[in-house]
Amino acid sequence: MTRLTAGGIAPSTGRSTRNWRKVKKEFRAKSAELNSRCGICHQTIDYSITNTTDEMVYETDHIYARSKADNIRISEDPAGLQASHRHCNRKRGNSPLKVSLGRPSEAW
């Protein structure tokens, strides 16, 4: 049985799929357009940096650590992604993250 997503595209099964590359590319383009800040350190990102070994280069970050996203559809969902600096992303690794939805509300 083949399940289709709303877009009519069969869910992918691999980890490094063409779909993921596409999602990442589109997410980067969108982040650059919105000039999104790093979701980890909240500083601006220089989207003109293209050297992928540069510490401050843009990198797509998974809000949910990939090792914990056992469902590939979660890890490829743009809603689970955020812009980040390469070095912030590396530093954080797979440690749990407070999801950044803007300013936290006052103590509940």
Q: Which residues bind Zn ion (CB under 5 A)?
A: 38, 40-41, 85, 88
Smallest distance from Zn ion to CB 84, Å = 6
Which residue number, 23 or 57, has a Cβ lying nearer to Zn ion? 57
Which residue number, 40 or 63, has a Cβ lying nearer to Zn ion? 40
* Secondary structure of residue 84 in the 3-state scheme: strand
Residues 5-20 as b/e (b if ≥16 CB within 10 A, e otherwise) read: eeeeeeebeeeeeeeb
Which residue number, 23 or 45, has a Cβ lying nearer to Zn ion? 45
Smallest distance from Zn ion to CB 100, Å = 11
> Do 82 and 61 meet the contact criterion of CB atoms below 8 Å apart?
yes
Look at the chain and count its residues: 108
Smallest distance from Zn ion to CB 19, Å = 26
